Amino acid sequence: MAARRPASADVTQDITTILVPGLSDMIDPEFLQKFQDMFAESFDLSMVIRNTDGTPITTPSRSRDPVASATPDADERARMRLTVKTAKSGHIEKSRDASGFLRFAVPVIVQGRVVGVMQVGSVPDTKTDLKHLADIAKRLETTREEVRRQSKRRVEYAIGVFQFAAKTLADICHEAWLVRRHLAELRTLQHVSQLLNSTQHVNEVLELVVETVCSTLKVKACGLRLLDPETGELFIKAVHGLSPEYLGKGGVSIKKSEVDRTAMEGEPVYIRDVSKDPRILYPAEMAAEGIQSNLVIGLKVRGRPIGALRIYTRESRYFHQSEIALAEAIANLAAVAIQNAKLYEQSLEKERLEYELTLAGQIQKQLLPSECPHPEHFDMCAINEPCRQVGGDFFDYIPDPYSHRLGIVIADVCGKSMAGALLMATARSALRVQSEHCTTAAEIVTRANMSLCRDTRAEEFVTLFFAKLDTRTKVLHYANAGHSLPRLYRGDEVIPLEGSGMVCGVLPENTYHETDLQFEPGDILLLYTDGLDEARNAKEELFGLEHVGDIIRANRNRPAGEIVDMLRTAVHKFRGPREQADDLTLILIKVS
């Protein structure tokens, strides 16, 4: 069962704040207070820092001036709105209070947006009339002349100081904003990564991707298409915020879709108005879905395109570069998560197939004789080593309850793995069934061939050697259907058993001929598949029948089981670390 995934709504908590920041969102108010107090003390000014709505962020410094009012009245709030409006045109607002002091409202601008206002007072006005000058001088305990003389210089100096202070504060804000945005994006991407890794099922990952994109970027809808590398088409695999009809749309050829092709080449595509862009293939369908703007991001894994992420908005929307970068980062995470989910499902399928093959191998092993018969005057031994869990070689002993004859078969079917195993079981069954109704080896193989032609595909076939051994007369009656010629070792001679016909399973009308062999004491007969003589080593050298003969002749006085073990050991040693490429099956019969 998939792990419970966290709520996708949590992803957007920080990003929404960072994309639309205020001054108090960027800098800690305690730092702003220290910054303000330093300037106010250094230049003997009243000062307060406010949000754009007029509410103070800091406690007023040098509160002797009316500018220090922490709670603005209606006029003050109106003035603040005017200040923000004026600031957008790049101007500093200057006004005068009832006491004759100048007051300045300096905007703090970050990325072209007014995020706060630094308000300063206690600046005498050189244009103030004599009465006001007298009042100011009395309040400041100085003379009118001194007020007039200092005023002009202080105003010019103050404006420069205000601009410097605002610029410094803006720079600090911008750096803080970048850091906060970066941290927020990292937290978002970490959350998205955890979200996408909360399941390893492809369909669930696809649904999570489109849901996460919508909630993170605050968009109307999102669709995800994956590339079919064989057809070159993009097929919709998941949508969020779109109708079921849209999900049922067919594939889109990347040759025809310039937008998707460009995105998958690594360049995001932004379309402000989908109804007017000629690159849009289905403008009517998009209009029906209420789509106005479109952002397309390619999905890549190790540089290889696997699909495209389409992001849709209901209204005409400009995507900030930081939003596009975030969308690309999410797309990269999504591509990796999709690929990992596919690999996980493939590994599950592989494990299931491995289990089935292992089970099939166990069943196939049960179909092979568990031990060799021991008729008088004969010593027999056989081995079967498939190169995979299941093999295409087999051997069998089929007793005849009505005579002294023993059926012996060795076969090699085309193909490996499950296909070969099924054909092997079919061939074994056909031979056993025909052995119950036919008496001669030739007739059994002929009828088995007809049966295999009915039950197999045109490209499937079997090579086999079937024999009836008369244990009393020591005569071997055999028919060969395209199999490797058995080898009779008699004294110093090596006699191939001639008389091979066509493979089974190809032509139903084919007939096979029977040949007899009279055994003599000391004879050794070897039946084998090509996994013996065609075994290769790291140098691509063949084990060869000559090597086989040397081992048999050198150990002819040993029991059949020991000779078979020596052959197997010699093949393994010859092959070395190289992987076994073919099934190894052989039957060795010694005559006494």
What DSSP string runs through 530-563?
A: HHHHT-B-TT--B--HHHHHHHHHHTTTS-HHHH
More confident residue, 109 or 124: 109
What band does 79 get if pLDDT is binned at 50, 70 and 90? low
Say yes or no: 266 and 164 in one domain.
Answer: no
Say yes or no: 300 and 256 in one domain.
Answer: yes
Has residue 15 got a pLDDT over 70?
Answer: no
What CA–CA distance (Å, rounded) separates 556 from 93? 114
Q: Residue 28 domain-assigned?
A: yes
What CA–CA distance (Å, rounded) separates 361 from 355? 10
Has residue 83 got a pLDDT over 70?
Answer: no
Best CA proximity match to 484, nearest among 524, 531, 521: 531
- Residue 375 sits in a domain whose CATH number is 3.60.40.10
Say yes or no: 60 and 145 in one domain.
Answer: yes
Q: Strand 500-501 and strand 475-481: pairing?
A: parallel
Inter-residue contact 82 to 72 (CB < 8 Å): no
One-letter amino acid of 337: A
Q: Residue 361 domain-assigned?
A: no
Q: What is the pLDDT of residues 23-39, one digit of tens each?
A: 777 778 888 888 888 88
- The per-residue pLDDT for 441 is 95
The domain in which residue 491 lies consists of 369-591
Say yes or no: 232 and 330 in one domain.
Answer: yes
Longest distance between any two alpha carbons in the chain, whole Å: 149
Say yes or no: 397 and 466 in one domain.
Answer: yes
Averaged pLDDT score across all residues of the chain:
82
As a whole number, mean pLDDT of residues 318-326 equals: 84
- The per-residue pLDDT for 288 is 85
582 contacts: CB under 8 Å, gap ≥ 6: 387, 529, 530, 531, 534, 535
What band does 3 get if pLDDT is binned at 50, 70 and 90? very low
Q: Residue 379 domain-assigned?
A: yes
- The per-residue pLDDT for 70 is 47
DSSP state of 6: P
Has residue 109 got a pLDDT over 90?
Answer: no
- The per-residue pLDDT for 23 is 78
One-letter amino acid of 493: E
- The per-residue pLDDT for 191 is 75
Domain boundary, last residue among 310, 345, 380: 345
Mean pLDDT highest for which of 172-176, 278-282, 494-498?
494-498
Say yes or no: 207 and 107 in one domain.
Answer: no
Lowest average pLDDT, out of 120-129, 152-161, 216-225, 520-529, goes to 120-129
Q: Which two tokens stand for residue 397?
A: 């002993």
Has residue 71 got a pLDDT over 60?
Answer: no
Q: Residue 108 domain-assigned?
A: yes
Q: What is the pLDDT of residues 119-146, one digit of tens each?
A: 877 554 445 455 665 666 666 666 656 6
- The per-residue pLDDT for 98 is 57
